Structure 1
Amino acid sequence: MNTVPEDQRARRRVANEVLNALRDVNGHFTVLNHQVGARASLRHVDLSCLDQIARYGPIGPGALAKRVGMHPATMTGILDRLERSGWIARERDPDDRRAVVVRTLPDRGVELYRLYTGMRAAMDEICAGYDVEQLELLVGFLNQISDAGERAAAELAD
């Protein structure tokens, strides 16, 4: 005889479906990013760094390395490659003349934006089917999932 109440079994089943859906999303975005990277002649880590620089930059190399889970020495090589390819620029940090920050170059950013146009259009179409309150609920849920992933990665890094 099963002693777990039906509502707990249902909650566990649906929670597992959410986890599986997130795994599917992760897998499909990995493939999408691979395709975008191939079209733009970028490695996966390069694309990840460009995304972080575009979102949080200008950013110092050390902070960027921490955001993408890379060793700072490895980040130097990645930034050298991105700079040589015309994706980023290194500049003096306006708050600390001894430090450097990196920023994306707008012309190249447009190139990546174009490659994601199909996905952005699909997202717009999907989001159009939800009202603002539902979208806010989804944003909150996804932010919590993102925070949990960040914490789990930090635990493994320690």
Structure 2
Amino acid sequence: MTSVTSRRRIRTGLRELGLQLALLNRKVSTRVALKDVDLDCLDIVATHGPLGPSALAKRAGLHPATMTGILDRLEKGGWIARERDPQDRRAVQIKALNDRNRELYGHFAGMNASVEQICVTYDDEQLKVIAGFLEKVAEAGQTATQELAGD
């Protein structure tokens, strides 16, 4: 197989992966009564939080005014808490609540188990290469998003 064919397969595979993960997220968000964008924001908070609302809006690529409705829904559903920033009592930090997030992780258990089964078919060196590749692709996606947003 030529390197051109391999690169084409990688691009096609990444597009298909993106589509399948978007469909999975949509199904999960429906099961937990969230909108897709709510689930995205919750994932950002769980991964990078606690965050202020403006920082969250920037990471999510959303207008700060849109964030109010999202945060209201997430807080009402028991997914997040708004807390005073210990460094600046006037500022608010958004924190994911672990109790409710365990429920969410249960919906992803099948996918996580499948990924684990796939990973055990590779040795440590191969996994390091794959992990590095995925990190670089994620960074490229973040850069492309920021460029489109005009950041």
Corresponding position of 2:71: 79
**Residue matched to 1:94:** 86
Q: CA separation in 2, counterparts of 1:72 and 1:143?
A: 27
Q: Which residue of 1 aligns with 2:107?
A: 115
**Secondary structure of the structure 2 residue equivalent to 1:101:** strand
**1:131 Cα shift?**
1.1
Asked whether 1:154 is paired with 2:146, we answer yes
SS in structure 1 at match of 2:50: coil
| Structure 2 CA distance for aligned equivalents of residues 96 and 133 of structure 1 | 45
Match of 1:127 in 2: 119
The match for 1:14 is 6
**Pairing of 1:59-74 with structure 2 (within 5 A):** 59-74=51-66
TM-score of the pair, normalised by structure 1: 0.92
TM-score (norm 2): 0.96
Deviation at 1:12, TM superposition (A): 2.0
Structure 2 residue matching 1:58: 3-state secondary structure = coil
1:60 maps to amino acid: G
Cα deviation 1:56-82 (Å, max 9, x = unaligned): 111111111111100111011110111
List structure 1 segments (4+ residues) > 4 angstroms apart after TM superposition: none
Structure 1 portions without partners, runs of 5+: 1-6
Q: 2:44 aligns with which of 35, 52, 69?
A: 52
CA root-mean-square deviation:
1.1
Letter aligned with residue 26 of structure 1: G
Aligned mate of 1:137, from 129, 137, 151: 129
SS in 1 for 2:93: strand
- In the alignment, the residues of structure 1 paired with residue 35 and residue 4 of structure 2 have an alpha-carbon distance, to the nearest angstrom, of 38
* Residue correspondence of structure 1 range 19-58 to structure 2 within 5 A: 19-58=11-50
Larger Rg: 1
Where relative contact order (Cα < 8 A, 6+ residues apart) is larger, the structure is 2
- Superposition deviation, residue 96 in structure 1: 1.2
Distance, in Å, in 2 between the alignment partners of 1:148 and 1:67 is 14
Structure 2: gaps of 5 or more residues = none
Aligned residue pair count: 150
